[in-house]
Amino acid sequence: MAALPRWLLLLFASAALLRAAPPAALAGALEYLRDQRSYSWEMINSDPGPVAQDIETRRGKVTYVAQNFIPNLRGKVARNGDMSIEREWVDGLKLTTIVAADGHMVTLTPEGWMSDREILTAQAEERLGNRPPSSRAPWLRRADRPDVRRPDQELVPFLKSNLPVESNGDSYTISLRSRNGDPAQPNENDSEPAVDVVVTMNVRNGMIRDYEVKVAATRRITRARLPVAVSDQRIVVLSYLPVSRIDLPPEAEAKLQAARAATSGRPAP
């Protein structure tokens, strides 16, 4: 999936720690998604911004402009477990990442195919050099360790959740709330910013066809830690047509073979 903040991953993980059952129609659709070996999906950032907010400070009013840089995404997982994720940002940058079934990963960057180790090394070189960031810095940050969670990994934990489910026809909504991005924090503690997540899943013919995730949170900025409202809204559309295989260009296959050889200690073929 798109790059989810760590606190959002914690919120979804907390749902899996609770024991209960969602409504039968939703449970059946989640089980169907869980059992799919191959499918594809598209994620649309429906709240890209920019959004301007006026903030009162001791020195007067300032304007803070927030930009949501979550990319639009197309993903697919093949029958053999290989996965392809194509991401595109509002500024035009496009990155394609191939995740092999064994976990090794390569990304098509403006400089060609690179392994995850090569991307980390390039980032380290950027930081060690005592010079301003180069033109590589923006895309290196986005290419580094992308979030590769699939929709089934995001939604199936709700099968074991006792969170209230609000139903409206074929739509099912689950709301999560946490303080300071930590599910262990008490929700009643108003001294810490809250994170509110609302997930709406639409079920048709026994399958989750699409779902929407809305996030409303507070970020503290400047040394005075002024609170600023931030939001994230994305829509995910699923297709259950199986994908026979992920086509790998020769350069990408060579990078994967080299990555496997580096992990195993054997020379690449």
Give residue 47's pLDDT: 67
Predicted confidence pLDDT, tens digits, the chain (269 residues): 334 444 454 455 554 444 456 899 999 999 999 999 999 999 998 765 666 666 666 667 766 666 667 899 999 999 999 999 999 998 899 999 999 999 999 999 999 999 999 999 999 888 886 778 888 999 999 999 898 999 999 999 999 888 899 999 999 999 988 755 444 444 444 455 678 899 999 999 999 999 999 988 877 766 656 777 778 889 999 999 999 999 999 999 999 999 898 887 665 55
Task: Match 């940050």 to its residue by tokens.
Answer: 141
The sign one gets for the Cα dihedral 111, 116, 117, 120 is positive
- Of 5, 13, 2, nearest in space to 184 by CA: 13
AA letter at 87 = R
Q: What is the pTM of this model?
A: 0.79
Give CA–CA dist 94/77, Å, rounded: 19
Give the closest residue to 81 by CA, choosing from 164, 150, 171, 184: 150
**What pLDDT score does 70 carry?**
85
pLDDT at res. 91: 87
Strand ranges inside 169-241, DSSP E: 171-179, 194-204, 207-221, 226-239
> What pLDDT score does 17 carry?
44
DSSP letter, residue 254:
H
Distance from CA of residue 269 to its chain's centroid?
A: 34
**Minimal CA–CA distance to 133: which of 141, 142, 143?**
141
For residue 186, the model assigns a pLDDT of 44
Instruction: Delimit the domains of the chain by residue range.
Output: 6-262
